[in-house]
Structure 1
Amino acid sequence: MRGLLLVPLGLIVLQITTIAAIGASSSRLVEKEIDVHLAADNKHLESGLGKPLRLSGYFKLNRTYDAHMFYFFFEAASEKRHEEPLAVWMTGNCPRTHPFIWGPGCSSELAIFYENGPFRINEDLTLDANEFGWDQTHNMIFVDQPINTGFSYSEDERDRVYDEKVVAADMLDFLKEFRAAHPSYFEAPLFVTGESYGGHYVPAVTYGIFEHNKVAKEPFNLKGLAIGNGLTNPAIQYGSYADFSFANGLISKNVQSTLNAIYPICRFGINACNTLGWDFVCSIALIFCQDTIVAPIQAEGFNVYDIRKPCIGPLCYDFSLLDRYLAQDEVREALGVGDRPWQSCSPDVYNDFLGKFLRDIMRNYEDRVSTQLDAGIKVLIYVGTEDWICNWMGNKRWVSSLAWSQRTAFDKAKEQDWQLDGNIVGTIKAAGPLSFVKVYESGHMVPMDSPAAALDMITSFTHGRDNSSSTEAAGHPALQMKLEKVRSSHLVVQ
């Protein structure tokens, strides 16, 4: 035993046990079990089921010289844990201080401790349980990627990542190896999820799996993807900045008109970048769109991730508790990361995507989504309505432009109210395997701002309920129990 932390009020006893290896059947996985005892675990112990398995680990990538991908795995905190869907999460948020805004490089530890992971950090650096963590109804994998994000690392410069082709290949390599070590979790449906630059990551990774499944002897049980406040089709999404900003009182009507007059040039440049794929064309398009569309609005000064709140620090949020928590020697030893430095967001990864391969930032991944939709892969696009950087208007426009077989049905579908505890918390528009959800009172990080709604939404999506027509409760016992604590009902469409 490396350490024992007693949390106030007896909510959690955190006992971290380090294990050199847990018997994983892969020489490329080195895992450690994190033995966290939550109050909710008592019922599992009493029933003989045992506490959910929680792991941290490193994965050695085959294609690289020295790259090690860091990840967490949290077994579902439910009685039917091996039957629960497996969900992979990739954080994509980027630092606000860079003049070009978009980009990858933020660690999934942000999600684990502030959004949809199982923990919350107290001021005294003890932990509370997140009763609305997505592990309540899913087996969860959180990955630090691309390489050099979070605790992932390589000492060899040749291992740096610049585009989604490599991101997709690395994630597929990881999932194959993780499945070899933990095959039982892959019998259930697989969903890939993420936010922000996850609008690039998620379609790229799922499309890689989709293509792999066509020829694989052991295909993955890929069932769906979910993107929260993502950047997926820049050519369309850049056109929403002026309209969203005017609608929310950030700019005047004259400024809106001026920016909308400039936008067609921006769109032309982005389309040329996608058509030609030349770095200098993509660079010109990025600089032009940022300088003429984005910069004039940002000059007004506001939190680009949540227009309701002040901007604090480079991420516009104070995540210093996580910096302090992960700096503790006993925590780092328990996670198996040694003295390796950790950053919430890596400027090196960010600059790699902005520098050598500028075309990735402006790349349109809409076609990856439409192809998978036509193959029956479920797609959930959800957006917090108070986010500016990947706002709901831009996301709705690119979703509405998708070229797929049920586009007409989606166009005709009406937005319907989503209710929790008798309150309207958002809207849903859906047809076939596609759902578009607006989440009220939420910014860029929906699971942080609306945790109960986010858990209800993702559980309904992954557990097979058609939100466009059903008025029945999702019926998941673990979810029902958690939502009852705040006297909330399940997702209801009326």
Structure 2
Amino acid sequence: MHGYLPINPTSTSSIFYAFYEAHNSTLPLSQTPLLIWLQGGPGCSSMLGNLYELGPWRVTESLTLQPNPGAWNRIFGLLFLDSPIGSGFSVAATPEEIPKDQNAVAEHLFVAITRFVQLDPAFKHRPIYITGESYAGKYVPAIGYHILNKNANLGVSERVNLAGVAIGDGLTDPETQVATHALNAYYVGLINERQKNVLEKAQLEAVRLTQLGNWSEATDARSKVLTMLEDMTGLATLYDYTRKVPYREDLVEKFLNIAEVKKALGVNESFVYEVCSDVVGAALHADVMKSVKYMVEHLVRRSRVLLYQGEYDLRDGVVQTEVWVKTMKWEGIEEFLNAERKIWRVNGEVVGYVQKWKSLTNVVVLGAGHLLPTDQAVNSQAMIEDWVLQRGLFQNVYKEKSIFVV
């Protein structure tokens, strides 16, 4: 199921969606969770997630499709949204309508999600989990926060049934995250102390500009830090320091520009599909260094939050996440930071680590980079399923304390 969700009654702006129903739900359909996936960028298409990461099909080098053994729609409904408008197959009637901040992104997404739920009465009561990676480390908290605020003023029948949010390898609190790259690369052994010192100076400049509220300059300063790190290390990609070649995002772009594919998706054949839009990236340029940590703090009190990272990601990975989580203003943060980091196994094999306290869970996934489901499909599927259903290491142990009267 695919199509367009109009987001503005006075223009043609609309969000493209692709939906896959649960392949083998263990629950009645009316109770089967719905996952929504948002891509990062800013300006990248969720068709990358769909056809290269976690959808039921993967594009091959020969531009054919093969089944994905770790698809996230095995037991859940899975909705991909090309957001913001102007990215992927989504339509921005005018460049001025493209969001310039997270509030505008969230407003559009709220309209799109509400419209999607209205497509089928069976969607109405299904629990919704909003997921995404990278720059969606800002989109996911923004729409989650927006939903909670909107729901407070809506009748029960009009509310969005938000059950939780999940952020993979996310940029969420850029000011603290940008200050980690030098030490991270140094301790991995990729740069020496002199290079570390040079990189730290560049990081401090990005922090300084952020604190001054010079947003565009701060974004440029962060880009400079990452470019310097690339130049120092010679890595194929900072998204996974073990890769000899970058991720093949180009395969998705080539596949979706095939005329028959566009026709099958109901997209105008003259539409030139780009996996990432420079126009959307430019519209959100001044937004990049703005934090949404306060939105996560709000969500962790009123919902459930999953953070997960691939161990090889140098851009938005384990170190970059831990550093901002430590600074969260939340009454459970001390307990979370002191919680045991448990060894996570799938089929008897060590695949990562899970740290959890009440509504907050953090997962480190071994053998994965930034596009984590691409690298560890089956383990990412096990993670999302167990977190949503609160199974295994992801269960809420607080519910399960029983008092036995002998």
The partner residue of 1:74 within 20, 26, 30 is: 20
Separation in structure 2 between the aligned mates of residue 127 and residue 288 of structure 1, nearest angstrom: 40
Name structure 1 gaps, 5 residues minimum. Answer: 1-54, 95-103, 274-280, 472-494
1:385–1:438: 8 Å Cα contact kept in structure 2? yes
Pairing partner for 1:465 from 385, 388, 391: 391
Equivalent in the alignment of 2:209:
269
Which one of 137, 142, 158 corresponds to residue 75 of structure 2?
A: 137
Q: In 2, distance between residues paired with 1:327 and 1:449?
A: 25
For the Cα contact (< 8 Å) 2:118–2:124, is it kept in 1? no
Distance 1:420 1:351 in 2: 41
TM-score (norm 2): 0.91
Q: 1:407 to 1:347 in 2, by over 3 A?
A: same
Instruction: For residues 303-342 of structure 1, give each alpha carbon's deviation from its aligned partner in whole angstroms, at most 9, with x where no partner exists.
Output: 111111134xxxx322343333323332211211021111
Change (3 A) 1:296 1:121: closer
Q: Is the 8 A contact 2:33 2:126 kept in 1?
A: yes
| Higher mean C-alpha displacement, 342-351 vs 75-84 | 75-84
Deviation at 1:469, TM superposition (A): 6.3
The alpha carbon displacement at 1:140 in A equals: 0.9
Change (3 A) 1:389 1:63: farther
Is 1:85–1:463's contact at 8 Å kept on the other side of the alignment? Answer: no
Instruction: State the Cα distance separating 1:429 from its structure 2 match.
Output: 1.0
Change (3 A) 1:351 1:410: same
Change (3 A) 1:400 1:411: same
Farther-moved stretch of structure 1 (343-352 vs 444-453): 343-352
CA contact (8 A) 1:66 1:159 kept: no
CA separation of 1:259 and 1:121: change in aligned 2, threshold 3 A: closer
Q: Distance in 1 between matches of 2:221 and 2:57?
A: 42
In the aligned structure 1, how far is the partner of 2:384 from the partner of 2:394? 14
Identical residues among aligned pairs (%): 30
Equivalent residue letter for 2:238: V
- Work out whether residues 431 and 468 of structure 1, in 8 Å CA contact, stay in contact via their aligned partners in 2: no
Could you tell me how far 1:294 is from its partner in structure 2?
3.1
Deviation at 1:83, TM superposition (A): 2.4
In 1: Cα distance, 2:268 partner to 2:203 partner: 49
What is the CA distance between 1:121 and its match in structure 2? 2.6
1:353 maps to what in 2? 284
Query: What residue in structure 2 maps to residue 33 of structure 1?
Result: none
- 1:88 corresponds in structure 2 to 36
Q: Could you tell me whether the CA contact under 8 Å between 1:64 and 1:159 is conserved in 2?
A: no
Amino acid at match of 1:412: N
Question: What do residues 179-238 of structure 1 show as CA deviations (whole Å, max 9, x unaligned)?
Answer: 222231231211100000001110001111110110111222211000000100011101
AA paired with 1:351? A
Q: 1:423, CA displacement in angstroms? A: 2.0
Q: Which amino acid aligns with 2:264?
A: A
Mapped partners of 1:153, 1:62: distance in 2:
11
Letter in 1 for 2:218: A
* Structure 2 CA distance for partners of 1:127 and 1:390, relative to 1, 3 Å: same
Give, in whole Å, the separation in 2 of the partners of 1:158 and 1:350: 13
Q: Distance in 1 between matches of 2:88 and 2:10?
A: 18
- Give the equivalent residue in structure 2 for 1:476: none
Cα distance 1:423–1:345, how it changes in 2: closer, same or farther (>3 A)?
Answer: same
Mapped partners of 2:210, 2:348: distance in 1: 43
What aligned pairs does 1:368-383 form with structure 2 within 5 A after superposition? 368-375=295-302, 377-383=303-309
- What corresponds to 1:115 in structure 2? 53
- 1:59 matches 2:5: yes
Superposed CA offset, 1:382-425 (max 9, x none): 00010111121010111121111111211211211111222211
Which letter does structure 2 place at the counterpart of 1:310?
K
Within the alignment, does 1:337 sit opposite 2:267 as a pair? Answer: yes
Q: Distance in 2 between matches of 1:420 and 1:336?
A: 39
State the shift of 1:269 in Å: 2.9
Q: Does 1:421 align with 2:361?
A: no
Once the two structures are overlaid, the 10-residue window that deviates more, 420-429 or 452-461, is: 420-429
How far does residue 258 in structure 1 lie from its aligned partner after superposition? 4.3
- Asked if 1 retains the 8 angstrom alpha-carbon contact of 2:15 and 2:85, the reply is yes
Change (3 A) 1:289 1:122: closer
Does 2:334 correspond to 1:408? yes
1:127-182 per-residue CA deviation (whole Å, 9 max, x = no partner) reads: 22212110102111101111111111134233222211111000100111112222
Report the counterpart of residue 315 of structure 2 in structure 1: 389
CA distance in 1: counterparts of 2:396 and 2:331, whole angstroms? 23
Residues of 2 paired with 1:322 and 1:192: CA distance? 23
Contact 2:14–2:85 (8 Å) recurs in 1: yes
Distance 1:126 1:411 in 2: 45
Alignment deviations for residues 433-457 of structure 1 (CA, whole Å, 9 cap, x no partner) = 0011111110001111000110000
Counterpart of 1:193, as a letter, is T
2:143 is matched with: 205
| C-alpha spacing 1:335/1:427, structure 2 compared with 1 (3 Å) | same
Q: Name which of 100, 114, 118 aligns with 1:162.
A: 100
Q: Are the counterparts in 2 of residues 270 and 362 from structure 1 also a CA contact under 8 Å? A: yes
Candidates 268, 274, 284, aligned match of 2:217: 284
Find the partner of 2:365 among 439, 463, 478.
439
Q: For 2:256 and 2:247, locate their aligned partners in 1 and report how far apart those are by CA, in whole Å.
A: 17
**1:161 & 1:219 partners in 2: Cα distance?**
23
256-265 or 56-65: bigger deviation: 256-265
Deviation larger for 259-268 or 405-414: 259-268
State the SS of the aligned residue for 1:115. Answer: helix
- Aligned counterparts of 1:249 and 1:438: Cα–Cα separation in 2: 20
Question: Using the alignment, how far apart are the partners of 1:272 and 1:126 within structure 2?
Answer: 49
Q: Which of 185, 188, 193 does residue 245 from structure 1 map onto? A: 185
Unpaired runs of at least 5, structure 2: 398-406
* Residue in structure 2 matched with residue 365 of structure 1 by the alignment: 292
> Is the 2:386–2:394 contact (alpha carbons within 8 Å) kept by the matching residues of 1?
no
Secondary structure of the equivalent of 1:306? coil
